[in-house]
Chain A
Amino acid sequence: MELLTDLMSNFWIALVLKLLVVALIIPLIGMVIGFAEMKLSAKMQARVGPYFAGGRWGWAQLIADGVKFFQKEDLIPRDADRPVFKVAPIVVMAGTVALFVVIPWGPGVIFRDLDIGIFYALAISSLTTVGVLMAGWASGNKYSLIGGLRAAGQLIAYELPLVFSAVAVVIMAGTMSMQGIVEAQVSAGYPFVLLQLVGFVVFMIAALAELSRIPFDLPIAESELVMGYLTEYSGFRFLFFFLAEFANMFSMSAIAVTLFLGGWHLPGIPADVLEFAGPLILIGKSFLLVFAMIWFRWTFPRVRQDQLQSLAWKWLIPISLANVILTGVFKVVL
């Protein structure tokens, strides 16, 4: 422990260590969620799921898949816009990695506790959509382009409810720092979801749409668009999109946990235990939300494009605006 604090006090060593942790954690989380998705979907459809790789449970399936992606040829279509096509997966990955900066893992355990943490998270998450638009356009394929356009239209519509429901929490906490929001819930003695149930529901719906998960997976929509913006990608570049999707599911869930479910805190656990248990509690809570997302995927049908838009503009935005106003009024009155 002594050694670790010594090492962390050197700025450059701390930076390299933090980078290494992120570089390891994203593929790891991606693989865990990917495997969970395979197994849970199998369970929900009364199938067995991956079975052979790595013995009884098929736990090595995702490792085998990863190796397979490395072996594949890096195909670029003739009509594609080569530089943009090549850069798009990197932009998507950059947006994913940047989100991990402000996730509060435990008391004092955070890559960087920015003053405006939640604002940063909402701003940087839109980088992913720029990458998706780039991928869709650069592929030189109509299905890809339609997929990219749908992704953009979806992001524009669902960004607002996402931001508004976070704003209500910021009003309650009185700070935009991610650690500050968790501490506000610790000192209040209850997770904000109790008073912000509406905000939480709106946030989760908007997060599903931002992640383009079913029921909002119109940008990919296999039965309509082949694979949307992913159609032309193969090999390592496809792997980047694939990992980014799962890592984004986790980071969105972690942000929702931080905002609404008390982050790394569980009532009744003493402070010195929390130092070590904090990250586990956060990961546990986040995986609960990830489980719900996977559950939705295999139980809900896909919405139509017009239903998607009217849900955002006619329901979620007014509801979340009203929620912000109510929260503000209560904050001033009480």
Chain B
Amino acid sequence: MTFADWIAEPVNWAFLAIALPTLFCGFRVVTARNVVHAALFLVATMGGVAALFLLLSAEFVAWALVLIYVGAVIILLLFGIMITRAPTGIDWTLSGEQQIIPGVLALALFALITWASLEAFGTSTLTVVGEGSSTELLGRMLVTRFVIPFEVVGFVLLGALIGGITIARRDLTPLEEEQRGAV
């Protein structure tokens, strides 16, 4: 397939219209000179990635990304940034140094993922297995074929939750315990 063939497909136009701004936003996440701007560009990047999933008709994954990343993770991130130190204006100390090594690492990761996915799938077209909507299929798959990984992930999350509570919790000293008992 030549580039002319590729660009003649309307769906690829849609892909470009979503992917290029997403790439730009992703680039700005690491180059923005204001922490909050970087986080907001991350919101836009996540939105773009969700749109790409929609383009692949993976509705559930797309909206799960919005619900979990935009709705929870990034809001927590913004919350954390704003509650500590987030002046408006430009901070020149941000993303000034150490551009080369992370850049090389990121390119290497990109090359690795590209190579792996081309090696695994190449130009083959994937077909949908089974009946019903993609969400329904996904749900069935999660509780039948992939039930063990699903449970393991659940267990890991539970562990993380308990670990988080343990770290955040401060044991009372005997004196404080006494005072609390008195009240």
Co-complex (A, B): yes
- Secondary structure of the A contact surface, majority rule: helix
Chain A residue with Cβ nearest B36? A137
- Chain B interface, number of residues (Cβ within 8 angstroms): 28
Residue contact B60 to A137, C-beta cutoff 8 Å: no
Within 140-164 of A, Cβ neighbours of B (below 8 Å) are at 140, 145, 148-149, 152-153, 155-156, 159
Residue contact A156 to B82, C-beta cutoff 8 Å: no
Which stretch from A112-120, A215-223, A284-292, A323-331 is at the chain B interface? A112-120
Q: Is B40 an interface residue (CB 8 A)?
A: yes
Residue contact A123 to B67, C-beta cutoff 8 Å: yes
**Cα separation A79 to B135 with both chains bound (whole Å):** 46
**Cα separation A134 to B128 with both chains bound (whole Å):** 40
Which stretch from B2-10, B69-77, B114-122 is at the chain A interface? B69-77
**Cα separation A176 to B132 with both chains bound (whole Å):** 13
Contact of B79 among A81, A120, A153, A159 (CB under 8 A): A153
Q: Is B96 an interface residue (CB 8 A)?
A: no
**Cα separation A136 to B81 with both chains bound (whole Å):** 13
Q: Is B11 an interface residue (CB 8 A)?
A: no
Which stretch from B83-91, B97-105, B144-152, B169-177 is at the chain A interface? B83-91
The answer to whether residues A116 and B76 also contact, given A133-B82, A137-B86, A137-B88 and a CB cut-off of 8 A, is: no
Within 88-133 of A, Cβ neighbours of B (below 8 Å) are at 114-116, 119-120, 122-124, 126-127, 129-130, 133
Contact of A152 among B34, B40, B79, B136 (CB under 8 A): B79
Q: Is A84 an interface residue (CB 8 A)?
A: yes
Residue contact B75 to A130, C-beta cutoff 8 Å: yes
Contact of B59 among A114, A127, A130 (CB under 8 A): A114
The answer to whether residues A156 and B72 also contact, given A80-B88, A130-B43 and a CB cut-off of 8 A, is: yes
Q: Is A138 an interface residue (CB 8 A)?
A: yes
Q: Which residues of B contact A (CB under 8 A)?
A: 34, 36-37, 40, 43, 59-60, 63-64, 66-67, 70-72, 74-76, 78-79, 82-83, 86, 88-89, 133-136
Q: Which residues of A contact B (CB under 8 A)?
A: 79-81, 84, 114-116, 119-120, 122-124, 126-127, 129-130, 133-134, 136-138, 140, 145, 148-149, 152-153, 155-156, 159, 176
